[in-house]
Amino acid sequence: MHPLIRLHSLLVFILLLALTGAAGLLPGLLLLLLLYARTGMVHLDGLFTMVRRIRWLLLSILVLYGWWTPGDPLWDGFGDHGPSLEGLRQGGARLGVLLAIVAAVHWVMSVTERDALLGAVMAFTAPLRWLGIDHERLAVRILLTLEVVPRVQEVAARFGQSGEGGRSRLARLAARARHLYGTVLAQADATEPGMREVPEIGPVPVWQWLVPVTIGLLLWYGVRASSSLLS
């Protein structure tokens, strides 16, 4: 599949899943399972790490919906301080949608080479040049962000394991922030966008434009079918 088609298919998947919510979750998960099975479950490597990085966001969503949505209490013993059943259902649906989107993004990134992904992002953002925006520089910046963030996380982990004894928690946090800030600046100086060659990804076969359209139709009809089952 052409990398630009993968990118368009990903955006169609995200848009429909975000619009349909819980109704689109089941067909979306089935589609993801089909994609991972078709390309090899080896691409699941790293997905857990990706999810672990947003664990606090997931917990925050569940708490916000569970504790701030009116409805029947989960357990009367909690009184006014417990979560509601409606809130937990809504929060769980949002968590499922977010996890499905993360899994879709991970699949695209794992099956697409970085240079091909860069070319796809550049082609996708090409219309921005009509607004006077340097879309090539934007595409390179996006790719550099994807590459630098994991390296910065490794630096943070190593720094956290180094000796920080004898200092208060606030002092340790300040030292870590200064260290990470300096690392990010060094990475940015070492990888100027102009040093990165923008690859050519070639034209998209006309028939492949049917792929994002098909994904959209499958999700849409899947949403209607799951809504009928739930009603």
Asked if 124 and 72 touch (Cβ cutoff 8 Å), the reply is no
* Backbone region of residue 162 per phi and psi (left: phi > 0; alpha: psi in -120 to 50; beta: other values): beta
Asked if 178 and 156 touch (Cβ cutoff 8 Å), the reply is no
Residue 81, both tokens = 């301080």
Give yes or no for residue 8 having a pLDDT over 50. Answer: yes
Burial class (CB in 10 A: 0-12, 13-18, 19+), 13: buried
Give yes or no for residue 209 having a pLDDT over 50. Answer: yes
Give yes or no for residue 119 having a pLDDT over 50. Answer: yes
Over residues 163-189, the pLDDT tens digits come to: 555 556 666 666 666 666 566 556 555
SS3 45: coil
Measuring CA to CA, how many Å separate 5 from each of 61, 124, 200?
31, 10, 15
- Work out the number of other CB atoms within 10 angstroms of the CB of residue 23: 21
Segment 195-201 shows an average pLDDT of 62
Give yes or no for residue 195 having a pLDDT over 60. Answer: no
Over residues 20-76, the pLDDT tens digits come to: 888 888 889 999 999 898 888 787 888 888 888 888 888 998 989 988 888 888 877
- What is d(CA 87, CA 146) in angstroms, rounded to the nearest whole number? 34
The per-residue pLDDT of the chain, averaged, comes to: 78
The percent of residues in the chain predicted with pLDDT above 70, rounded, is: 72
The residue behind tokens 């963030």 is 149
Segment 150-159 shows an average pLDDT of 55
Give yes or no for residue 99 having a pLDDT over 90. Answer: yes
Residue-level pLDDT at 177: 63
Give yes or no for residue 103 having a pLDDT over 80. Answer: yes
Segment 187-204 shows an average pLDDT of 62
- Residue 132 DSSP label: T
Nearest CA-CA partner of 219 in 3, 35, 1, 5: 35
Give yes or no for residue 200 having a pLDDT over 90. Answer: no
Q: How many residues does the chain have?
A: 231
Residue-level pLDDT at 130: 86
SS3 73: strand
Beta strands in 92-217 (DSSP E): none
